């Protein structure tokens, strides 16, 4: 198998490089300004030439893919024969041992046949520290310090699948260094409502954006012969009652909103492992949901890998075994009493579960192992290297979102800046760990204050004031956390006294890993810790206040947006967070992040709250909004958000012109080639994410006002124009007809919109499907 996987791994960067040429500068340079375009590039490049080049590249890629595909089929047949021969040598008891955990982060092997345990570890923020085999206490290793990687919504804010891929490669390399076969990442449940405690861990509110990032991450992790475990399948959109809530969702919404990213991760990313969610979907636990696991995942999508339960997420033996679960995982023993241990053995002997079903599960686990721990030429891996730190910096730098810069305070002018007040607990707080859920024992983490000192300390005096106390712990009761939201007047007075004396005040507020945490949802959108009072006091005395918000989910920024002139949104942004933030403030980095979810004006503007479906009644959450999730809801219902999906400013400007498609009429299966000219109108190089939305004119069925169907991030030099091209397949315009149980492409007129955000439409054109 290694020959094929090596070929695919080497092919991915080539494919990405080919894709980069679809952003062509009209000045005759490539997007980074360093390489000349192929002959025929430059201002004279015309649409037919571009299309001919695209066709030539496509043919070459197709030829390579056909060769890869043929080799893949041959190797797959050989591998399956090897797996079948191993299964024949196994006793029933040995097979059962492979189907359940035998420690916190491993499941059984068969020593007699040389089959190792399958090891896994938490992963969304980096490889977690080593814990003891049978409990959650630290193993106190001295070699398990890892790179803290930016959180999921930060990766989504890059709007850059290449960054997701880079993240995945780092995670895979560090997993290998720790001898982990499966990383429990990425997590990308749809951001249905803004209070979910794991929003920081997830990607976005849009299925297409989620899918593209998931593909990049999965390919990156698995390029290192480590399995990605995509999670949580499916419709895990709240932490309140997550263990037993029944999410009632119509099939159209399932197919159009909640499942597409998983499908992309499986079919395009080739994910080896998937984790079932805790909750029920339409009356059945996800770990024993025949529709999700058997009918959709394994039969429709052709998933060859392993379905693993979330920890303690199994409820029955026979139903789970027959309905698609492959491995049961959990947090405590006795392991031989778990549903997939002695009870499963008894169920097989009683004829309730067939040996064929058991063999299928074991075959899937062996298939996974032959792609990971038992693969040839397995990489040794590396951990917390300078290269990994550089990757963390690059992701963080692309994720930071400039929300407001009305007074043009940013970038800070170092030649006149003599004193800076850095205010706020988040300026000195680290985010690698905290709360209930996976953390990272980070080799290092640069705080905001440290980053600002390193970038501005040689030319300006920098002083710090805490401003507020973050007196909140995720594991505390509400009574124990009482008063966490009260301002600390003494700390505010200290901050005000400092801010009066400095040229600029950088106010670092927001959330932290205790306040946003797995296991609970926030109770409101309000900023915690009395931060609004601190903001009001500091901005009143220093007209040059930059408000930096570090958080992983939407908050109520109404008052800050109204009164503040400079707002920057950062995240739980990894080991290099402080350096990346400081470089954005200094202008070394031109901010290019875009919001991956909508910030509502009011919590009750969001669909789950407007329709009173959260957290649900009698442990049942009715997804009454159907397909209207995120911007689809706000656009279709004509509700203005505080900040819209895809929003983010730059230190330069971008003008869009000349949106066009390669033709006006298409049929099912055709490819729509789209191009638009984007000019950098400023004096600073910058990156713009061009977003393509599609709207059906006079639809015959209910549709959202518009849907994201493509996007591309382009770096454009000052005063230069890039011709940015993207492809949309006509089949991707389909809606799911739940009465016919199939996808339908509606004929007629469609509008295509080139946009800087979901509300900022720059160019519109039409085409027809016949």
pLDDT in tens, 253-296: 999 999 999 999 999 999 999 999 999 999 999 999 999 999 99
Average pLDDT, the chain: 93
pLDDT in tens, 548-565: 999 999 999 999 999 999
Distances (CA, A) of 457 to 291, 451, 500: 59, 9, 19
**pLDDT the model gives residue 123:** 86
Structure tokens belonging to residue 424: 């706020």
User: What are the start-end ranges of the H helices in 650-721?
Assistant: none
For residues 727 and 744, the answer to whether their CB atoms sit within 8 Å is no
**pLDDT the model gives residue 65:** 60
Percent of the chain at pLDDT > 70 equals 91
Looking at per-residue confidence, does 267 or 76 come out higher? Answer: 267
As a whole number of Å, the CA-based R_g of the chain is 26
Residue in 181, 596, 173 with CA at minimum distance from that of residue 392: 173
Output b/e per residue, 193-225; b: 16+ Cβ within 10 A: bbbbbbbbbbbbbbbbbbbbbbbbbbbbbbbbb
pLDDT in tens, 238-255: 999 999 999 999 999 999
Give the separation between CA 304 and CA 298, rounded to whole angstroms. 7
Residues forming a β-bridge with 766: 751
In this structure, the dihedral spanned by the alpha carbons of residues 104, 106, 107 and 108, taken in order and rounded to 10 degrees, is -110
Q: What are phi and psi of 402, to 5 degrees?
A: -85, 110
pLDDT in tens, 601-623: 999 999 999 999 999 999 999 99
For residues 488 and 425, the answer to whether their CB atoms sit within 8 Å is no
Residue 707: how many CB atoms within 10 A of its CB?
A: 23
Looking at per-residue confidence, does 43 or 196 come out higher? Answer: 196
**Residue/partner pairs of 409-413 with CB below 8 Å, 24 or more apart:** 409/504, 409/544, 409/546, 409/565, 409/566, 410/546, 410/566, 410/568, 410/584, 410/585, 410/587, 410/651, 411/584, 411/585, 411/586, 411/587, 411/651, 412/456, 412/504, 412/546, 412/585, 412/586, 412/587
Q: Which of 310, 556, 583, 662 is catalytic?
A: 310
For residues 132 and 367, the answer to whether their CB atoms sit within 8 Å is no
Residue 24 pLDDT grade (very low, low, confident, very high; cuts 50, 70, 90): low
Residue in 327, 54, 44, 316 with CA at minimum distance from that of residue 184: 327
Structure tokens belonging to residue 32: 């980074």
Specify the DSSP element, H or E, that contains 16.
helix 2-20
For residues 709 and 733, the answer to whether their CB atoms sit within 8 Å is yes
Residue 12 has pLDDT above 90, yes or no: no
- The single-letter DSSP state of residue 149 is P
Give the separation between CA 342 and CA 615, rounded to whole angstroms. 36
Residue 38 pLDDT grade (very low, low, confident, very high; cuts 50, 70, 90): very low
**pLDDT the model gives residue 74:** 84
Residue in 650, 648, 613, 605 with CA at minimum distance from that of residue 630: 605
Contacts of 543 (CB under 8 A, 6+ apart): none
Give the separation between CA 68 and CA 48, rounded to whole angstroms. 30
Average of per-residue pLDDT across 127-133: 95
Lowest model confidence (mean pLDDT) among 413-417, 436-440, 500-504, 561-565: 436-440
Residue 521 has pLDDT above 80, yes or no: yes
DSSP string, 27-47: TSB-TTSSSBPPTT-STT--H
Helix axes 489-499, 531-541, angle to 10 degrees: 30
Percent of the chain at pLDDT > 90 equals 89
Structure tokens belonging to residue 161: 């699948």
**pLDDT the model gives residue 59:** 61
Is-above-0.85 flag for pTM?
A: yes
Is 485 designated active site?
Answer: no
pLDDT in tens, 161-205: 999 999 999 999 999 999 999 999 999 999 999 999 999 999 999
For residues 226 and 372, the answer to whether their CB atoms sit within 8 Å is yes
């Amino acid at each position: 198998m290694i020959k094929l996987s090596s070929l695919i791994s080497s092919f991915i960067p080539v494919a990405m490089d080919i894709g980069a040429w679809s952003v062509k500068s009209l000045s005759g340079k490539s997007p980074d300004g360093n390489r000349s375009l192929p002959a025929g590039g430059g201002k004279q490049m015309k649409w037919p030439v571009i299309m001919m080049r695209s066709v030539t590249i496509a043919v070459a890629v197709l030829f390579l893919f056909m060769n890869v595909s043929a080799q893949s089929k041959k190797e797959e047949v050989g591998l399956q024969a090897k797996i079948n021969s191993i299964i024949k040598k196994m006793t029933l008891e040995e097979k059962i041992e492979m189907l359940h955990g035998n420690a916190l982060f491993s499941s059984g092997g068969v020593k007699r046949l040389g089959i190792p345990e399958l090891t896994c570890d938490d992963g969304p923020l980096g490889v977690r520290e080593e814990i003891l085999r049978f409990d959650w206490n630290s193993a106190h290793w001295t070699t398990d310090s890892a790179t803290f990687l930016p959180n999921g919504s930060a990766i989504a804010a890059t709007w850059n699948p290449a960054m997701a891929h880079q993240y995945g490669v780092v995670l895979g390399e560090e997993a290998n260094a720790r001898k982990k076969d499966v990383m429990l990442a990425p997590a990308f449940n749809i951001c249905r409502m803004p209070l979910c405690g794991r929003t920081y861990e997830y990607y976005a509110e849009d299925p297409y954006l989620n899918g593209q990032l998931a593909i990049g991450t999965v390919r990156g992790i698995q390029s290192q012969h480590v399995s990605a475990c995509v999670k949580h399948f499916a419709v895990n959109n709240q932490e309140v009652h997550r263990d037993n809530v029944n999410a009632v969702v119509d099939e159209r919404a399932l197919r159009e909103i909640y499942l597409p990213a998983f499908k992309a991760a499986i079919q395009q990313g080739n994910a080896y492992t998937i984790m079932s969610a805790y909750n029920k979907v339409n009356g059945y636990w996800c770990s024993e949901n025949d529709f999700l696991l058997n009918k959709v995942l394994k039969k429709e999508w052709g998933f060859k890998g392993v379905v693993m339960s979330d920890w303690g997420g199994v409820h029955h033996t026979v139903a789970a075994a027959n309905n698609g679960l492959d491995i049961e995982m959990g947090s405590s023993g006795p392991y031989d009493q778990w549903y997939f241990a002695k009870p499963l053995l008894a169920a097989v002997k009683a004829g309730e579960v067939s040996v064929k079903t058991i063999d299928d599960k074991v075959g899937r686990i062996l298939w996974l192992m032959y792609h990971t721990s038992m693969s040839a030429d397995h990489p040794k891996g590396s951990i917390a290297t300078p290269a990994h730190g550089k990757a963390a910096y690059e992701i963080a730098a692309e994720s930071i979102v400039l929300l407001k810069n009305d007074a043009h305070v940013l970038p800070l002018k170092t030649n006149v800046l003599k004193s800076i007040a850095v205010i706020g607990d988040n300026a000195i707080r680290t985010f690698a760990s905290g709360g209930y859920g996976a953390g990272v024992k980070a080799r290092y983490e640069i705080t905001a204050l440290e980053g600002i000192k390193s970038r501005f300390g040689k030319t300006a005096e920098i002083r710090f004031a805490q401003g507020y106390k973050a007196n909140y712990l995720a594991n505390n009761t509400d009574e124990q956390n009482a008063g966490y939201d009260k301002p600390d007047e003494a700390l505010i007075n200290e901050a005000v006294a400092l801010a009066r004396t400095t040229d600029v005040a950088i106010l670092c507020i927001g959330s932290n890993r205790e306040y946003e945490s797995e296991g609970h949802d926030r109770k409101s959108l309000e900023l915690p810790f009395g931060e609004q009072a601190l903001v009001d006091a500091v901005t009143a005395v220093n007209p040059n206040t930059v408000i930096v918000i570090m958080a992983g989910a939407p908050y109520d920024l109404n008052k800050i947006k109204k009164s503040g002139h400079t707002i920057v949104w950062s995240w739980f942004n990894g080991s290099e967070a402080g350096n990346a933030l400081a470089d954005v403030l200094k202008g070394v980095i031109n901010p290019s992040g875009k919001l991956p979810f909508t910030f509502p004006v009011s919590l009750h503007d969001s669909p789950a709250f407007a329709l009173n479906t959260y957290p649900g009644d009698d442990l049942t959450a009715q997804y009454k909004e159907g397909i209207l999730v995120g911007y689809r809801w706000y656009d279709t219902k004509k509700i203005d958000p505080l900040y819209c999906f895809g929003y983010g400013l730059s230190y330069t400007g971008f003008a869009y012109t000349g949106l066009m498609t390669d033709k006006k009429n298409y049929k099912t299966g055709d490819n729509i080639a789209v191009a638009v000219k984007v000019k950098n109108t400023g004096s600073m190089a910058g990156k713009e994410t061009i977003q393509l939305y599609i709207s059906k004119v006079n639809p015959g069925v209910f549709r959202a006002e518009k849907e994201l169907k493509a996007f591309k991030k382009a770096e454009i030099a000052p005063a230069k124009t890039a011709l940015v091209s993207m492809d949309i397949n006509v089949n991707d315009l389909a809606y799911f007809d739940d009465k016919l149980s199939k996808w339908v492409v509606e004929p007629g007129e469609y509008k295509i919109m080139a946009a800087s955000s979901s509300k900022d439409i720059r160019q519109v054109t039409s085409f027809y499907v016949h």
